[in-house]
Structure 1
Amino acid sequence: MSFFHANQREALNQSLAELQGQINVSFEFFPPRTSEMEQTLWKSIDRLSSLKPKFVSVTYGANSGERDRTHSIIKGIKERTGLEAAPHLTCIDASRDELRTIAQDYWNNGIRHIVALRGDLPPGSGKPDMYAADLVTLLKEVGDFDISVAAYPEVHPEAKKRPGGSAEPEA
C-alpha cells in the first residue's frame, strides 16, 4: 500500500472515530435461498458486526417460503449475534389476522423492531387493502414495537397533490 493510501486510510479512520456515537448505521440482508448463501450471510454478519450497526434488517418477500426464511434468519441473528434484528414486514398479500399472528410471533420471540412497509403491488392489482400507516397501527396494537418506515423525499408516485402541495393516496 502506498504512503498516499495509508494517509487516506488514517484520515478516514480518524474522521470515523470523531463521529463515534453521532451517526447510526444499519445493514439490510435478503433471506438466503441456498445453504451456500446462508454461510455467506453469517460470515457477512460476523464481519459487519464489528461496525456496531444500530440494527440489521432482513427483507420480506411476497412468497411464503421467503417469509419463513425471514423469520428464521431474524431469530438466528438475535440468538447468534445479539445484534438488534429488524424484520421487514409488508401488508400486501396478507390479511390483518395473518399480520397480527406474525407480529405476535416476533414479539413472543423478543423481536422489538420491525421495518413496516406497504410492499410492492402485484402487476394489475387494484388499490391495496392496507397501507404502511395501517400496518404501523396494527403493530402498535400487538406490542410497543420500535417501528421503522420508508419515505419518499418527494411525493409518492401513487399520491395526488392536494392544494398547498401536500399529497394524499389516490382513492
Structure 2
Amino acid sequence: MPSASHHRASRDSYRPIRVSIEFFPPKTEEMEKILWSSIERLAPLQPKFVSVTYGAGGSTRERTHNTVARMVKETSLQPAAHLTCVDATREEIDAVVQSYWDAGVRHIVALRGDPQDGIGTAYRPHPGGYAQTSDLVAGIKRIGDFKVSVSAYPEKHPEASSLDADIDALKAKVDAGADQAITQFFFENDIYLRYVDKVRAAGIDIPIIPGILPVQNFKQAANFARRTGASVPYWLPPPP
C-alpha cells in the first residue's frame, strides 16, 4: 500500500483535464457532505471549470449561490453558476448576477430554463423578466465582464421548428455576447461533428463544447433523452 506522501505526490502530479464537471446544489446536510467530499477528490484533476445547476424557477437559487461562492473561497476550481430567466423579474435576476460578481464568480451558464409547467408545455416569459436567453446574456454582460456559456442542441431544441431555426437562436445568443456554448448530450460523435459544421457555416465561431452524459442507469438516461430530444442509438442497449 503506498504511503501518504506517495499518495499526495500522485495527486499533485495529475495533469489538468480538458473537461468540465457539473454539480447539483445539495438539498440536505448529508448531500452537502457528499458534494464536498466529491469536490475534494475531483479538484486535483484540475478540470477546465465546474458548473452548479439552477433549479426550475430559481428553486435552488440560494443553494446554487452558496455552493459556487464557497468554491471560490475554498478551492482552486473555476466555478460557473447556472442561471435561468424563468419566473423572475429582470430586477431579481440582475440582483442574482450582481451577487455572483460580488462573490468573485466570473462565469455564468445562461439558460432560458424549462417551462413553468414542465417540459412539453408552453413556455411563457415573465411579464417583467428576460424573455429569452439572448436577452439574459445581454443583461449579464451589462452588469459585469462575465464569461457567459449558453446551451446548444445538436439535434435541435425540442421546441424549435427546425435545426436551422435553432441555430439562428444560438446566433442571437452569440450576438448578445455569449462566449461559448455547451451542447445537449449526444451519444454519437457524428451528430456533434455535423452540427459544428452547420454552426460554422452560419458564421458562429465561438467554442462549441460537447456535452457528455455518463450512463449509470440506462432507463433514466433513455427517459432523459426522450425529454430533451436526444436520440438513443441501437448500439446502446440496456444492460442485461
- TM-score, normalising length: structure 1: 0.78
* Sequence identity (%): 52
Q: Is it true that 1:89 corresponds to 2:83 in the alignment?
A: yes
The structure 2 residue matched to 1:128, chosen from 125, 130, 140, is 125
Q: Alpha-carbon deviation of 1:150? A: 1.0
Cα distance in 1 for residues equivalent to 2:25 and 2:50: 12
More displaced stretch, 40-49 vs 65-74: 65-74
Looking at structure 1, the residues matched to 37 and 156 of structure 2 have their Cα atoms a distance apart, in angstroms, of 38
SS where residue 160 of structure 1 aligns? Answer: coil
Alpha-carbon spacing, 1:128–1:36, altered in 2? closer, same or farther (3 Å): same
Letter in 2 for 1:94: A
Give the total of aligned pairs: 147
Shift of 1:82: 2.2
Aligned to 2:99: 105
| CA spacing shift, 1:121–1:63, aligned 2, 3 Å | closer
CA pair 153-115 structure 1, distance change in 2 beyond 3 A: same
Deviation per CA, 1:40-79: give whole Å up to 9, x if none. Answer: 0001001001110111111111355521100101001111
Alignment of 1:4-153 (within 5 A): 24-62=18-56, 66-123=60-117, 124-129=121-126, 130-153=131-154
**Aligned partners of 2:27 and 2:157: how far apart in 1?**
31
5+ long unaligned stretches in structure 1: 1-16
Question: Offset of 1:158 from its aligned partner?
Answer: 1.5
Tell me how large the CA RMSD over aligned residues is. 2.0
SS in 2 for 1:159: coil
Deviations 1:3-48 (A, max 9, x none): xxxxxxxxxxxxxx9xx67x62111111111111101000100100
Q: Partner residue of 2:165?
A: 167
Where relative contact order (Cα < 8 A, 6+ residues apart) is larger, the structure is 1
SS of residue matched to 1:127: coil
- Give the gaps of 5 or more residues in structure 2: 1-13, 170-240
CA distance in 2, matches of 1:101, 1:84: 21
SS at match of 1:28: strand
Letter in structure 2 aligned against 1:60: Y
Q: Distance in 1 between matches of 2:112 and 2:77?
A: 25
The runs of at least 4 consecutive aligned structure 1 residues that moved more than 3 Å come to 124-127
SS at match of 1:60: coil
